[in-house]
Structure 1
Amino acid sequence: LQADSNSSNRHPQWTSDNGPFGFKIFNPHTDHLTVWVQGQDPLHIIKNSKVKILGMCEINVSRLIDEKQMWLPLRYGNQPA
């Protein structure tokens, strides 16, 4: 999973596990996060080559400033794992 803000973060962080994971918004001017979910292929990740993007979404975080965010992995049907 990769998350990137639209303002100052030019080097988004990757996490290779299934979660849970959290993020903290440090820049008060950030108004949204873009999140990419990619297929887990260690060979491609190590080589930093093309990977299969499973999906992406944009999240409005303007009302979440200074609040701790915790995301949990979902199973089929969008139910918490």
Structure 2
Amino acid sequence: MKILYFAWLRERLNRASDEVDPPPEVVTLADLVTWLRQNDETLDMAMENPAIFKLSIDAHIRPLDTPIAGAREIAILPPMTGG
């Protein structure tokens, strides 16, 4: 599956996306975030407070307890500021 990073998260990671193949025990978006953070120190530091991020599955924002089975694309969206 493809993981997309947006806004300041993309800039901090210095990449727009990753292709990943999570293990079978990664079932939900919350599991995925935990697994991604465990396997990437830079992402772990950038997502120190994962509760502030929104996640989408195939372009639809979903709660963290949503299963990821069948997902083609998951986006991690940091909070935005603007004015």
Work out which structure has the larger RCO, using CA pairs closer than 8 Å and 6 or more positions apart in sequence: 2
Higher share of residues assigned helix: 2
Q: Tell me, yes or no, whether TM beats 0.5.
A: no
TM-score where L is the length of structure 2: 0.30
Pick the structure with greater CA Rg: 1
TM-score where L is the length of structure 1: 0.30
